[in-house]
Amino acid sequence: MWTSAQYRRVVRGSAWYDLIVTAAFVTPWSFAGLHGALTGLSQALDLPGTLPAFEPMHMLMANLLGSIVCVWAVLRIRDPQQVFGRYDAVGRFLFSAWQLYALLHGASSLLVVFLVFELAWGVVQVLPVRQPSLASHAPTGAAPNL
């Protein structure tokens, strides 16, 4: 169970992860570089699955994904509300489902690394947050003399 302050740090941490991992998806040029690096890594490690060349529509989808995820990440970095963490967890479980689907249909096994992180961030963001007790809202200090 998280305290409210701990949970805000989790939400902010997951947002920083998203921003770092997804920033290269924002432009066609940065994504082309990332795609080339991932293709080279996959080939060097002789990993199963494919990482096909991207056509313009694929690139558009990657860039749209990168753009919206980066905007969502900046929002959570600046204002890590509990409700944002809950919505983010749902999004991560959806991403995980589609990543698993892609893996089962021949996508590069490099995707497993991202799937593990998606599931981990999703799980930690659905854990309960301890609500402050009513006693924590009670006034402290000496009672006034009347």
Taking only the tens place, the pLDDT of each residue in 25-57 is 999 999 999 999 999 999 999 999 988 899 999
Asked if residue 138 is part of any domain, the answer here is no
Q: Would you say residue 122 lies in a domain?
A: yes
In a domain, 139, yes or no: no
Domain membership of residue 146 (yes or no) is no
What type of residue is 128? P
How many domains is the chain built from?
1
Kindly state whether residue 137 falls inside one of the protein's structural domains. Answer: no
Residue 128 has pLDDT above 80, yes or no: yes
Predicted confidence band at 132 (pLDDT cuts at 50, 70, 90)? confident
Q: Say what the pTM is.
A: 0.86
**Could you tell me if residue 141 is inside a domain?**
no
Dist CA 21 CA 66 (whole Å): 9
Tell me which residue range forms the domain holding 13.
4-131
pLDDT category, 142, cuts 50, 70, 90? low
Residue type at 27 in one-letter notation: T
CB–CB of 89/125 below 8 Å? Answer: yes
